[in-house]
Amino acid sequence: MKKRYTLEQKKWDSPIEHAMPAQARVPASFNIGNVTIAPATVLAPMAGVTDTVFRRFIKNASQFSASSSTTDVEATQTNQQSGCGLIMTEFTSADGLSRMRETKRKRYLTYYDDEHPIAAQLFGSNPETLADSARIIQDAGFDIVDLNLGCPAKRVVACNGGSGLLKDLPQIERIFKAIRAAVTIPFTVKFRMGWNDAHIVCVELAKLAEDNGLNACALHARTREDGYTGQARWEYIAAVKDAVRIPVIGNGDIRTPEDAAAMVEKTGCDAVMIGRTAPANPWIFRQIAQYTASKEATGIGTYDHPTNDDRYSMIRTYFQMLVDEIAIEEAAEAARAEAIIAQGQIAREKRNRDAVGKMKQFAAWFTHGVPGGGGLRKQIFEAKNGNAVIAAVEHFFESHQNLPDEADTAPVQSDTALLTEAAYCD
């Protein structure tokens, strides 16, 4: 096993002690089968977070600067501009998907044209059901289908899904074969290192993926027993990269552009995947792109830090997108004319509750680093509906216009704790 890299060693901001080679940077592109991903950055799937609104929000994050007055997030943005090469859906149950009515499926698999390339992630343990669901994903127009072998949630593991399968490589092989035979779109797998330190299977698993025609693999460099504790062990990403020829996507604990470049440098991975940092700092992908470009041009990596106006623009836009999405869903529902009035009312109230719940959840991450952000969070938590949340955001930023900007947007520990408490992890 190669040298272990720890966060203590990740002091890239101390160039004398820990100089990173000038060539260390995230690649401009990589291929998953016939799909080109450019730049080589991936938004990690996150249950409860990476729905269509958040995914489009991330792809359009480059617009949220004070110099840009537009909130027209439907405008086509290239991945190069946003800095995010690939987005992924939250994990979806293959059992659920194959049983669902067509209309409900559509809601689960909603994505917009400007989300391509996009991968849909499935979890499950039955090869036939997973193969059926992969076909549904392909028919829905997704570019890539991904299999989740990392979810640590007890209810998923109890049905042998997610990381539960890491203990059963023969069953994984049956699943690989069934899905591969069912679809022609690229097929990828995202996994953890193994169940625990006594049972590390990531290299064997990556080889199995390659031998069964999968087009790429992504490793979150922790075991199931690690949960989200400790530091991701990047040396296992390097070991997987050494063992296979298919592209390897490295994942775990990237918080800054320097971390992203360092992961590529230390492991040789073909692309980097970013999870928890994205909701705390939606500019991370653009910052990586800026860091890469400036490093190429001058040998020194630099990137912008968002101003308060940028934050305002970002928060306002994201909340407006959530409110707009409700309106779109309602219009679609009305067009389907399938619900009786009483049911429609219940659905509407639930959607509003969900959207306001998301705003409250995101407020905690987005307002980190904003001077006086605690007051804003309080107002958002007390708001009763989406428009009241937006009004609170507008009022806050109007009355705080002259406060100094905060330079540092790195997530604090509490952001991470909040994220790991979500449904995905029990």
Ligand X SMILES: Cc1cc2nc3c(=O)[nH]c(=O)nc-3n(C[C@H](O)[C@H](O)[C@H](O)COP(=O)(O)O)c2cc1C
Can the peptide bond before residue 39 be classed as cis, meaning omega within 30 degrees of 0?
Answer: yes
Residue 151 is among the residues annotated as catalytic for this protein = yes
For residue 399, the minimal CB distance to ligand X (Å) is 32
- Measured distance CA(232)–CA(255) in Å, rounded: 12
Using the minimum distance from each CB to ligand X, give the nearer residue, 105 or 222.
222
Q: What is the largest CA-CA distance in the chain?
A: 68
365, with CB counted inside 10 A (0-12, 13-18, 19+), is buried
CB 242 within 8 A of CB 216: no
190 binds ligand X (CB under 6 A): yes
The residue among 280 and 383 lying less far from ligand X, judged by its C-beta, is 280
- Active-site residue among 151, 202, 217, 269? 151
Q: Of all residues in this chain, which one has the CB nearest to ligand X in the complex? A: 275
For position 26 contacting ligand X by CB under 6 A, the verdict is no
Nearest approach in angstroms of CB 62 to ligand X is 20
Instruction: Verify binding: residue 249, ligand X, rule CB under 6 A.
Output: no
- The stretch among 143-151, 172-180, 196-204, 287-295 that binds ligand X (CB under 6 A) is 143-151
Q: Which member of 41, 121, 129, 133 binds ligand X (CB under 6 A)? A: 121
How many whole angstroms separate alpha carbon 413 and alpha carbon 415? 5
Q: Which stretch binds ligand X (CB under 6 A): 46-54, 202-210, 282-290, 296-304?
A: 46-54
User: Checking phi first, is residue 373 left (phi over 0); if not, alpha (psi -120 to 50) or beta?
Assistant: alpha
Min CB(307)–ligand X separation in Å? 25
The owner of tokens 């990137």 is 303
CB-nearer residue toward ligand X: 73 or 151: 151
Q: How far is the CB of 332 from ligand X (least distance, A)?
A: 24
Which of 310, 296, 229 is CA-nearest to residue 64? 310
The Cα 59–Cα 111 span in angstroms is: 13
- Encoding tokens for residue 192? 């953890």
Instruction: Work out which of 33, 39, 45, 250 binds ligand X, going by CB under 6 A.
Output: 45
Stretch that binds ligand X, among 168-176, 196-204, 251-259, 314-322 (CB under 6 A): 251-259
3-state secondary structure 31-54: EECCEEECCCEEECCCCCCCCHHH
The verdict on 282 binding ligand X (CB under 6 A) reads no
* Residue 226 DSSP class: T
> Is residue 376 a contact point for ligand X (CB under 6 A)?
no
CA angle 245, 249, 254 (to 5 degrees): 150
- Give the shortest CB-235-to-ligand X separation in angstroms: 16
Taking alpha carbons only, the member of 309, 327, 321 closest to residue 394 is: 309
Give me the residue label for tokens 């520990």: 413
Q: How far apart are CA 48 and CA 156, in angstroms?
A: 15
CB under 6 A: which stretch of 45-53, 57-65, 204-212, 234-242 binds ligand X? 45-53
Among 257, 275, 301, 306, binds ligand X (CB under 6 A): 275
d(CA 146, CA 126): 15
223 is a site residue for ligand X (CB under 6 A)? no
- Closest distance of CB 337 from ligand X, Å: 33
Binding site for ligand X (CB under 6 A): 44-49, 90-91, 121, 148, 150-151, 190, 220, 251-254, 274-277, 419-420, 422, 424
Residues annotated catalytic, as ranges: 151
